[in-house]
Structures are given as C-alpha cells and as structure tokens.
Amino acid sequence: MKAPVISSWFGRGSVVAPPDIESAALRSDRFRLEREGEWRKLEEIVKRMESGGLRRIADDDLLALPTLYRTAASSLAVARETSLDASTLAYLEGLVQRAWFQVYGPRQGFARWLRDFLLGGWSRAVREIWLDICIALFVMVAGAIVGWLLVAQNEEWYYRLVPGGLADTRVPGASREELLATLATEESAAGLSTFAAQLFSNNSAVCILAFALGFAFGIPSLMLMVHNMALLGALLWLFDGQGLLVEISAWLSVHGTTEIFGILLSGAAGLHIGRAMAFPGTRPVLDAAAEAGRRGAVVMVGVVIMMIVAAFLEAFPRQLVEGSANRFMIGGAMLLFWLTYFFLYRPKRSPGAEG
C-alpha cells in the first residue's frame, strides 16, 4: 500500500509522507527550526507593542512587522495543510492572531483615543484649517452687519430673519421693560435640564448641517452662517434701539462665545472640504476631499463637545446668573479658554498617536 502524497509549499514536487510517527516529528522540527527565528522576532515586536504601543518599537522593526506577519501567516497555512504537531500549530495560531491585531486592528482603545484627541488632536486639526476659519469668520461678521443694516433700513426684514418662536415679545416696537424681561434670570433650575437638551439638539443640528453642506464647494455652508449671523445682527439692532446693547451682549456672551465659536468651526470644516474639492491641486478630487473630510471630522467631533458645553451654559449660568458684569466674566472666560486651547496650547504629537 502506497503512502499518501501531500503537496509541499516549498518543494518543487510532491512529498511522500513517511509512514512512521518519528519521521513526521522530524519533519515538524525541521519546519520549525527553519522559520523559528522569524517567528521569535515577530513575537518580540508584538510583545513590545502590546505593552507600550508604537513608542517602544524601532523604525526598522516597525517596517519589518507586515512582512513578518505575512510570513507567520504563510507558515500557519503550511502547518495546517501538512498536519504538523499540535504545539507548533497552536503557537502559530496564537502568534498570527496577536500580530493581526497589531497590524490591522485598532491602534488604541477609546480612553487613549479620547486622551490624545483632547490633549492635542482636536486643537491640531483646528489649526490645520486656519485659512477656512479666517474666511468663515469674515463671512459671519459680515452676516451680522448685513442683518443689522437690513432691519435698520426696513423693519419688515426683522420678521424674515428672526424665527417666530424667538420673536415673542422681542419685536420692533417693544418697550424697554418688555425687552429687559426677556433677559431676566430664573428663580430656580427646575426644568432647565430639559431646556439644555433641546438647546443641544438644535445647536448641534445647525453645526452638522453647516459641515455637511460643505460638499457643494462650501457655498451652502457660508450661506447658512450668513443667515444665522444676520439673525444675531437683527437682535442686536432691536435691543440697541432701547439702549440695551450691553445687556443683550452680556446675556448672549455666556453661551455665545462657545456656541458661535462652534458654528464658526463647523462652517470652516465644511468650507475646508469644499475648498479641497474646488482646488485639489495635483491630487484627484476624491482624494483631496477624503483627506479634508477626515480632518474636518476630527474638528466636528470637538464641535459636538462645544455644543454640549454651550447648551449647559445657556440653560444654567445664563438663566441663573444675574448682572452684566458677571455674565461677561463667564463669556469672556470661555472665549479665553477656547482661544488658548486652539491656538496657544500646542503639545508635541505623541509617537503612535492618530488624528
């Protein structure tokens, strides 16, 4: 009776399987000895990555990692095909699984991602779109001025710019006392948490829309910012007519320095995508848009955090803190914090950090 024929991955022909167990063991040992050096090297690299991330890996080892992984995966395929000993097979399966996670798996857990995001990733992404921020800021200031001038020339524009829900008693012709009452504080915080949730939902929707519209070369994003700031300009004109410009500015500053900053960043992120599509340079349009989209997405994750903060400030401190000076202090502190974080706080990029 002939011994079974088993195909070999490394021989030129077929290998006739020895009939005895001793020959099979020798074949397994020889297979392992020929490749064990590469397996051990891969295992050593994987161990260092598991214990300390990419920071503990030399550049040469990092470059060799994919090749070593593919070699180990090929060895595992051979081991399964030729029915090598169970210990070799188990070792390779474990090694390939761990190496796969390091080569193709996520680089870091959520806690580390959040740390890297807050301690440099977010502010770095914002600085990378500085030109779009400058353009968006100019458009927003222009929008507020246009809103003020439109209602100053014709009061009918006020009703076109300001939503009906906001224009309750805040309408042209309202007395000073009526307007001042809308800036009054609440006696307690009861029900303000629900109010905060509603504000967060509304503000986030505006920011996400400004970002999402960027695909149309950024033009809809700019138009949305102009409309929102024209509304602000109309409100400022209304209160200024009754000598309440300082009061309304203080009232708005509590949450506005965070909320308007968030809208500015979301519009700039959308514009960043549109500008990359309109002026891709030497890259294909889709590649340029994809790169800008990834950068803009990092900014937008942070904008959502800003909207949470803005909703909290709008629902609680703005409604409970009395006095223009105190309100300006809160708003000014928040503006100083954001400016410092985005433009002055510049930590070094940690090795292996993403985003």
The answer to whether residues 316 and 195 touch, using CB atoms and an 8 Å cutoff, is no
| Cβ atoms of residues 273 and 218 within 8 Å | yes
What's the whole-number mean pLDDT along residues 276-285?
Answer: 89
Domain boundaries, the chain: 21-104, 110-344
**Dist CA 74 CA 65 (whole Å):** 14
CA nearest 323: which of 171, 134, 185?
Answer: 185
How confident is the model at residue 166, as a pLDDT? 64
Tokens of 154: 């014709």
Find where tokens 């400058």 sit: 134
Q: What percent of the chain has pLDDT over 70?
A: 81
Please state at what angle helix 130-153 crosses helix 245-278, rounded to 10 degrees.
Answer: 130
Q: Which of 268, 267, 229, 259 is nearest to 335 (CA)?
A: 259
What digits encode the pLDDT tens for the residues 232-253? 999 999 999 999 999 999 999 9
Which residues on neighbouring strands pair with residue 16, listed in sequence order?
5
Between strands 5-7 and 14-16, the pairing is antiparallel
Two structure tokens written together for 211? 């970002």
> So what's the pLDDT on residue 270?
92
Residue 158, pLDDT above cutoff 80: yes
Residue 225 has pLDDT above 50, yes or no: yes
Q: Which of 23-27, 254-258, 266-270 has the lowest mean pLDDT?
A: 23-27
The whole-angstrom distance between residue 253's C-alpha and the CA centroid of its chain comes to 26
More confidently predicted of 15 and 94:
94
Q: Are 340 and 123 in contact (CB under 8 A)?
A: no
How many residues comprise the chain? 355
Question: Please, which residues bridge with residue 347 across strands?
Answer: none
Mean pLDDT of the chain: 82
What 3 state SS string does the chain have?
A: CCCCEEECCCCCCEEECCCCHHHHHHHHHHHHHHHHHHHHHHHHHHHHHHHHHHHHCCHHHHHHHHHHHHHHHHHHHHHHHCCCCHHHHHHHHHHHHHHHHHHHCCCCCHHHHHHHHHHHHHHHHHHHCHHHHHHHHHHHHHHHHHHHHHHHHCCHHHHHHCCCCCCCCCCCCCCHHHHHHCCCCCCCCCCHHHHHHHHHHHHHHHHHHHHHHHHCCCHHHHHHHHHHHHHHHHHHHHHHCCCCHHHHHHHHHHHHHHHHHHHHHHHHHHHHHHHHHHCCCCCCHHHHHHHHHHHHHHHHHHHHHHHHHHHHHHHCHHHHCCCHHHHHHHHHHHHHHHHHHHHHCCCCCCCCCCC
The 10s digit of each residue's pLDDT in 327-338 is 999 999 999 999
Categorize the per-residue pLDDT at 2 as very low, low, confident or very high, splitting at 50, 70 and 90.
Answer: very low
Mean pLDDT confidence for 27-52? 80
pLDDT of amino acid 14: 43
Q: What is the pLDDT of residue 188?
A: 60
